Structure 1
Amino acid sequence: MKNIEILAPVGSFDALRAAVLNGADAVYLGGRNFSARALANNFDTEELKEAVKYAHIRDVKVYVTVNTLIKENEINNFLKYINFLYNIDIDALILQDVGMASFVKKHFPDFEIHASTQMVAHSLEDVKYLENLGFKRVVLARELTVEEIEYISKNSNVDIEVFVHGALCVCYSGQCLMSSMIGGRSGNRGRCAQPCRKVYELIDIEKNSKIDLNDKYLLSPRDLNTIEELDKIIKSGVLSLKIEGRMKRAEYVATVVSAYREVVDYYLKNKKLNVKKETLDDLYSIFNRKFTKGYILGEIGTGIMNPQKPNNTGLYIGKIIDIDKRKNKITLKLENKLKKGDGLSIGGGNVGRIIKRNNIIEEAYAGDIIQLDFKGEVRVGQEVYKTLDSELLDRARKTYENNIENKKIPIRGKIILKVDEYPVLLVKDDRDNKVKVIADKKVEKAIKVPISDEKIKNQVGKLGNTPYILENIIIEKDENISIPISILNEMRREAVRKLDNKRKNLNKRKAIKLDIEDKERIYRENKDIKISVKIRKIYQLKKILDLDIDIIYYEDINTLKEAMELCDKYNKKLVYSPTRILRNNQYNIIDKALDIGVNDFQVSNLGMLNKLKENNIYGDYFLNTFNSRTIKKFKNQGLNIVCLSPELNLNEIKETLKYTDVEAEALVYGRIPLMISEYCPMGVLIRDCSKDKRCGLCNQSKYGLKDEKGELFPIAQDMFCRSIIYNSKVLCMMDYLEEIYSVGVSIFRMDFTFEKEEIIQEIIKAYINIIKNDFKFNEEIKIYEKLKKEGITKGHYLRGVE
């Protein structure tokens, strides 16, 4: 069985110590820039150097997250940062941006790169694409099952990493625009405002009524905890078990890493799992939003979500069996341990007195009936949870505080002490690193008592506050010699310093300085304007065939053959647009399209790029195209058209397109999808759907989520019953077409979702007329005012994202 890596999250130096000293094989952390957790403490340049040194000395690898999308004006600083990370011996980079990944492999071929979960690798085709791009490791989407993971592991040559514990995103990572569009804080830029943890109401749009539910955090997932079935994940062929939590405190890191280390080690040694109740209790106590075994182990629907509470639930300890309002006391029957100083889910604050049979005690146990002082509203029968375990926190801190060293590295030594010669100390570690120390004071004949072998061994072996332990030492000395203890101590300290310096350079790199080449500016001629339209159904297509449209993106595989025949008849360019999430066996819809003669495809994930490289392909904006290097890479891989990310503003688009002659497409009308999720709010909350019925009832109804500001976000399903949550407002750039054209965009794209066919026709005609009339309004002002009244947005064209 291959080695299994436990990969721990690190958001501070304390968390780094906690991870290393509790058994992590590797850690992942972010610098102050380009990290997908921009709101974590993160590490400045000096702290990064110290982090690498600390981890490498103790045989732990360091991976740095540079997993954000990079804007054109950030590229040079990004490349300088990568050069710095290479030179300080970072073991691997975790990347999202395709263009930046390609650049790293070109200029730093020996720098290992890992594909972030932000790259949405959810199929073998995705993994093959990333493998061909030079990635050594791929972090798979959290939505995949162990069976899918096993299939990918067996059929690819990259290392596979999966999340096994911590917070989940309700949306496929790398495909969420909700935080971005609502508040300008982009998840693709490391600044997610966690809209999934906010309050929503479920609305029946057709009836214009609220669905009565007991819960309000309708998009909030539980936390992942796979420890009780970790053997299934290990058997699937993964290399790395990833723990989420760079925003978490060091005590959390210590507790979770320690738990998984214990269980993995036992399994690898005994080929069976052994998860102690105390270990599970610690995981519940340190933090959970209720636990789920996740999609990875077959959970779905209500088993994934926790709509009752978006923050820590804690460890269940018992129920309230009596309330004495006069004395401000409650009585609990305990089902788990409780101590003075613990935090509870009721009332806030910490436990003061614990009263049992009129005696004040420090702690109580399962089966005890106790009283607590309490003011506030509670009810008999209410469940009580421990949200803070003071003893657990203390125990966790003791594993990494006060410069403790509990991860000892065996070293062997040899000391040579010859009269009238300088003392020599030779040390060798378990990696075959060798150091030599020569003292500056010669060995002398002893006048009184000569130094003993025992004394020499004891002094050289005084390594208590270092990560080393002296396993063996050979003493080669003359008889009756004398050497000051201070000399032996200094030699030992110098040997430790030298060994530290050798061990920190784990990859044996030599520092290089990257000469950043000036990007070649491309002279872009003003291209003729084209219009592209994306539609879902055949009845929509029939309404627009006689309009002056250059490209029609069509989504429905079931009527695709009929759509092709209609477009042939009207001499229209039809491009098939499959749903953007295609798991392994779902690529059969691509095969079906190929079988009926489709040669033009709109691709929206990396796997499609790999699968369809011999066909005519058009890039959708779900590919997250953010800069000219990514455009160049995609163009070289055969993309005829690249649709730019809707997170770029006009100035950023202009700057990007200076360096490419690609035919650039941009969305100028449409209700932008903000999330795509395996979770269906309508099916789960209303019908207790398990996604195995495929009844289609959700698609026959119209639902939406209303936030606390009153904005309504419509929901629909793709052909595989995934939920797509759309923006509350329609993007409408009818009055900014000239500005968009002036920055280099030549293809104006309109996407239609819920609009009736008559409105679709009217909107397309308006855009065509404005373009033909040199971007001036005439009668088109009527449809624009109508759309404006219903609610429109300019997206990020005028503001951009952080």
Structure 2
Amino acid sequence: MVHRIIKEAGTMYKIPELLAPAGTLECIRAAINGGADAVYFGGKAFNARRNAGNMDEKEMTEAVALCRQYGVKVYVTLNILIKDEEFEDLVKDLNFLAGLDIDGLIVQDLGLIFLLQKYFPDFRLQTSTQGSVYGLEGALFFERLGFMRVVLPREMPISEAAMIAEKTKVELKIFCHGALCYAYSGQCLMSSMIGGRSGNRGLCAQPCRKKYQLRDADNRLIKEGYLLSMSDLNIKERLDEVAQAGIDSLKIEGRMKSPEYVYAVTRAYRETLDAVDGEGKTPSITEKELAQVFNRSFTDGRLFGDMQVINDVVGRNRGILAGHVIGCENGRLLIEALPDTAFSKGDGLSFGEDSEKGMRIDSLFDLKGRPLASEKPGIKVKVPSRFRVPAGTPVYRNHDARLTRRLKSESQSAKPAGQQTVCFRLKLALGAPAEVTAEAGEQVVTRVSDITPAAAQNLPLTCETLSGQFERLGGTGYQFGGLDADIEPGIFLSKGELNALRREILEALDAEQAEEKPTPVVFSLDRELPAKPEVQRPLLSLEPADKAGFQALCGLAVDELVLPVQDLSRPQDCEAPIARAHECGKRVLLAFPRIMDTAASARLKSNLDAFCGLNHDGILLKNYEVLSLFQSKPVYKEADQSFNLLNALSMKQLREWQVEGGVLSPELSAAEAAVLAKCSAVSCVLPVYGRQELMVSANCVYNCADKQCENCRRYRGWAALIDERGAAFPLRKDTDNIIHIYNGDVLLLKEELKRQKYIDKWRIYATDEGHEALADVVSYYRNALDNGVFGSVPGRTGVRYTKGNFKRGVE
């Protein structure tokens, strides 16, 4: 239960809600037994862990009933991007969820937000981490929108989170334990572009857990390993500071993890939170056991000042150090266990710091080759192995069979939710219609029947006879909770009449409960979407990666230029570039940084009037922070592709937010983009050329030993990540030390654009092209717009072109 206590004079502590993951009913029980205050789970579709077990409607109904039985809150995840053709099925799911007693929905898609606020206003909404809120202004935006809770980014320090808690009323959630994404959540397209499996659609293939080389612009090797693989978050020892910060909810990651993992992590955090609350007991889950269930090495993250949270040595669960190899003979490894470690059959082992090789212990022997009957710590053992491992290699145990058996037993003691209990009251008198009342939970129904008791000829009616008939509830969905009868002596009713009374009152109870459920929403996407005329000639727009050389771009044959604003404290720096662009007949949109924390937003806010006073033609919005600040300003606003605009309802939501244009998601296929644009409520911008940004991250891939990240001026410019197949991904670190990773192949749309009749603007993205190469690209598209002919593809040495997801879309 979330509550406040005064720990010491002048300090307010808030014990946050403990929110546990649940991919299955077994995980629900594990979370309850572990001491969770709340759980989050998804259905079979529309959630960001589509490869988790997930639950069908029957299982979700049982899960909610079980949570209610134990006083645990329930949040349902609908946190993926939605395709237009999926909204009918989504509305069916929402009608089902509206009839459940859940405590909120976790969402990211703008179209879904529109749908929920217009047609399902009773749902309480929370942002998903995929929703990409970066600071105070983003939290305030969703507070004004009526959301109950906002999740803060895993890159945010606890001091900033505490400040946001002081300045907002909306509830705040942070991650406390589990896997960390390399990129800012919701801003990763790497899995999508490589294999069509979209992280925004719940199917991330985890390319960040693969091996890479990092090479500089001259192809010299800088480093190699699991360069994007993050350590696992663990802030269990910092919960006292979290309580001081005023955070409302702590989220454990892991809907694809086992029930044993859910139980162990939840129990460990429950016990620590109770200790912070002054209710400390001897921990039942040790630090070693917490590390054993799953870890890629632990960090307390950027939340508590760890600026280098990449573990480039290992990309998978390594478990904990258990011993060392001391030899190998006749197909068996000789292993010496650590003094506190006893190996068991069924244990999983991995070898070396990188844990590249691994095995399961199928049998154990002593050094004389005799089977071990008992498990003893610290001894030397032989285990059969298909491969040799050099002596001295550290041995890690990544699965502890004995611990797993114990956790499995402890995690499943919560009984399945029983049937609803019903209690009866009867008033029976000679010659008077029978009066029957049924009570189930808060529902009470009374009916006066046509059945009338007669005078008893032999055996008068008794309470025992009544109970015997009313207990017969098989197949009704109820269980008998008791009967209270007011019976006039000497009356009689047959068993058939009693059964009829029972059926009659239960049917009335069912009907009453059915009436309580909201009327299903009938939704038609076509009715919501406007008709739009064909666009005769789209504008041609150009966005550079930074403002260097911006004025030289003014001579190119584009209609519009995007001016990146790098110093939020100096709006005057924009005056000359804007003036030059206007002299050349170009529109100019200002683009503020894609990632803006609270401090950056504050700098922009203090100069907001000055930026509004510049003679520009609009703002390209890259985050909710900038949208929050400019929403009410009378200026053209365009939402960039970072808003993940995948459906037509999302464009209607933009209109509700006073945004007049939107850049279509690069995860749309050509057919999907055409359908969306045809019925868009705002103007549509389509990326047609450039290196597509796959990841944007605060985690420096260089991972230097000196760790002077705040003041770092190293490694500026371009480098490349090389994957295990030899594919290269250009990479740059910007002036704010944010890492940008791009697709190795360059997007180039051409003839297929002729079928896009409703696109208002084509956008070219300039990254690493020289001025001459970029001029060729602009001429290529200018000619297509002016003359309807694309001509020869602009040639660049060593560059391959791609249609990206425009050809295939994503799953």
TM over 0.5: yes
Asked if 1:711 is matched to 2:727, the reply is yes
Deviation at 1:330, TM superposition (A): 3.1
Match of 1:573 in 2: 587
Length-normalised TM-score, structure 1: 0.83
Kindly provide the amino acid, as one letter, of the partner of residue 768 in structure 1. Answer: R
Match of 2:211 in 1: 199
**Any gaps of 5 or more consecutive residues in structure 1?**
461-465, 479-489
8 Å Cα contact 1:557-1:589 kept in structure 2: no
CA displacement, residues 501-526 of structure 1 (integer Å, 9 cap, x when unaligned)? 99x99x97545444547234413142
Kindly provide the amino acid, as one letter, of the partner of residue 577 in structure 1. Answer: A
Alignment match of 1:775 (pick from 781, 784, 789): 789
CA distance in 1, matches of 2:547, 2:445: 75
8 Å Cα contact 1:120-1:141 kept in structure 2: yes
8 Å Cα contact 2:196-2:810 kept in structure 1: yes
RMSD: 4.3
Match of 1:329 in 2: 334
Deviation at 1:698, TM superposition (A): 1.4
CA separation of 1:249/1:425 partners in 2, compared to 1, >3 Å: closer, same or farther? farther
Asked if 1:696 is matched to 2:713, the reply is yes
Match of 2:254 in 1: 245
Q: Mapping of 1:566-645 within 5 angstroms? A: 566-591=580-605, 592=607, 594-595=609-610, 597-598=613-614, 600-613=618-631, 614=633, 615-645=635-665
Asked if 1:261 is matched to 2:270, the reply is yes
Match of 1:222 in 2: 231
8 Å Cα contact 1:543-1:758 kept in structure 2: no
Match of 1:484 in 2: none
8 Å Cα contact 2:69-2:417 kept in structure 1: no
8 Å Cα contact 1:354-1:370 kept in structure 2: no
8 Å Cα contact 1:540-1:757 kept in structure 2: no
Q: Mapping of 1:84-123 within 5 angstroms? A: 84-123=96-135
Match of 1:550 in 2: 559
Match of 1:487 in 2: none
8 Å Cα contact 1:58-1:407 kept in structure 2: no
Match of 1:663 in 2: 683
CA distance in 1, matches of 2:549, 2:262: 53
CA distance in 2, matches of 1:29, 1:718: 37
Deviation at 1:111, TM superposition (A): 1.1
CA separation of 1:147/1:385 partners in 2, compared to 1, >3 Å: closer, same or farther? same
538-547 or 230-239, which deviates more: 538-547
CA separation of 1:337/1:268 partners in 2, compared to 1, >3 Å: closer, same or farther? farther
CA distance in 1, matches of 2:438, 2:759: 67
CA distance in 1, matches of 2:428, 2:400: 58
8 Å Cα contact 2:21-2:40 kept in structure 1: yes
Asked if 1:672 is matched to 2:692, the reply is yes
Corresponding residue SS for 1:311: coil
Kindly provide the amino acid, as one letter, of the partner of residue 698 in structure 1. Answer: Y
**Any gaps of 5 or more consecutive residues in structure 2?**
5-14, 352-357, 472-476, 488-498, 568-572
Match of 2:408 in 1: 397
CA separation of 1:428/1:263 partners in 2, compared to 1, >3 Å: closer, same or farther? farther
8 Å Cα contact 2:126-2:150 kept in structure 1: yes
CA displacement, residues 668-701 of structure 1 (integer Å, 9 cap, x when unaligned)? 111111001111112x1x5543412x3322114x
Match of 2:12 in 1: none
CA separation of 1:414/1:628 partners in 2, compared to 1, >3 Å: closer, same or farther? closer
Match of 1:485 in 2: none
CA separation of 1:121/1:212 partners in 2, compared to 1, >3 Å: closer, same or farther? closer
CA displacement, residues 701-744 of structure 1 (integer Å, 9 cap, x when unaligned)? x31111122110011123321111111111111443323xx331
Match of 2:71 in 1: 59
CA separation of 1:543/1:758 partners in 2, compared to 1, >3 Å: closer, same or farther? farther
Match of 1:181 in 2: 193
Length-normalised TM-score, structure 2: 0.82
8 Å Cα contact 2:75-2:102 kept in structure 1: yes
Alignment match of 1:732 (pick from 734, 748, 768): 748
Asked if 1:373 is matched to 2:391, the reply is no
Deviation at 1:531, TM superposition (A): 1.0
Corresponding residue SS for 1:697: coil
CA separation of 1:277/1:85 partners in 2, compared to 1, >3 Å: closer, same or farther? closer
Match of 1:294 in 2: 301
CA distance in 2, matches of 1:48, 1:714: 44
Deviation at 1:180, TM superposition (A): 0.6
Match of 1:530 in 2: 539
Corresponding residue SS for 1:652: helix
CA separation of 1:415/1:623 partners in 2, compared to 1, >3 Å: closer, same or farther? closer
Asked if 1:761 is matched to 2:775, the reply is yes
Deviation at 1:610, TM superposition (A): 0.8
CA distance in 2, matches of 1:687, 1:708: 25
Kindly provide the amino acid, as one letter, of the partner of residue 624 in structure 2. Answer: L
CA displacement, residues 398-455 of structure 1 (integer Å, 9 cap, x when unaligned)? 1344x7549999x9999999999x99999998xx788999xx999x9xx9xxx99xxx
Deviation at 1:667, TM superposition (A): 0.7
Match of 1:317 in 2: 322
8 Å Cα contact 2:773-2:796 kept in structure 1: no
CA separation of 1:295/1:423 partners in 2, compared to 1, >3 Å: closer, same or farther? farther
Match of 2:176 in 1: 164
CA separation of 1:670/1:601 partners in 2, compared to 1, >3 Å: closer, same or farther? same
Match of 2:496 in 1: none
Match of 2:222 in 1: 211
Asked if 1:349 is matched to 2:328, the reply is no
Match of 1:650 in 2: 670
Alignment coverage as a number of residue pairs = 754
CA distance in 1, matches of 2:672, 2:375: 61
> Kindly, what percent of the aligned residue pairs are identical?
31
Corresponding residue SS for 1:398: helix
Corresponding residue SS for 1:318: strand
Deviation at 1:653, TM superposition (A): 1.5
Deviation at 1:337, TM superposition (A): 4.7
CA distance in 2, matches of 1:178, 1:191: 12
625-634 or 171-180, which deviates more: 625-634
Kindly provide the amino acid, as one letter, of the partner of residue 360 in structure 2. Answer: G
Corresponding residue SS for 2:744: coil
8 Å Cα contact 1:318-1:384 kept in structure 2: yes
Kindly provide the amino acid, as one letter, of the partner of residue 580 in structure 2. Answer: L
Deviation at 1:91, TM superposition (A): 2.7
CA distance in 1, matches of 2:765, 2:554: 15
Alignment match of 1:25 (pick from 20, 25, 37): 37
Asked if 1:283 is matched to 2:299, the reply is no
CA distance in 2, matches of 1:399, 1:416: 43
Kindly provide the amino acid, as one letter, of the partner of residue 752 in structure 1. Answer: A
8 Å Cα contact 2:564-2:592 kept in structure 1: yes
Corresponding residue SS for 2:562: strand
Alignment match of 2:22 (pick from 10, 15, 18): 10
Kindly provide the amino acid, as one letter, of the partner of residue 656 in structure 2. Answer: N
CA distance in 2, matches of 1:436, 1:218: 68
CA separation of 1:225/1:425 partners in 2, compared to 1, >3 Å: closer, same or farther? farther
8 Å Cα contact 2:651-2:681 kept in structure 1: no
CA distance in 2, matches of 1:744, 1:723: 34
8 Å Cα contact 1:29-1:246 kept in structure 2: yes
Deviation at 1:336, TM superposition (A): 3.9
Deviation at 1:335, TM superposition (A): 4.2
CA separation of 1:593/1:580 partners in 2, compared to 1, >3 Å: closer, same or farther? same
8 Å Cα contact 1:227-1:275 kept in structure 2: no
CA distance in 1, matches of 2:151, 2:428: 57
Deviation at 1:177, TM superposition (A): 0.5
Q: Mapping of 1:127-142 within 5 angstroms? A: 127-142=139-154
CA distance in 2, matches of 1:238, 1:791: 48
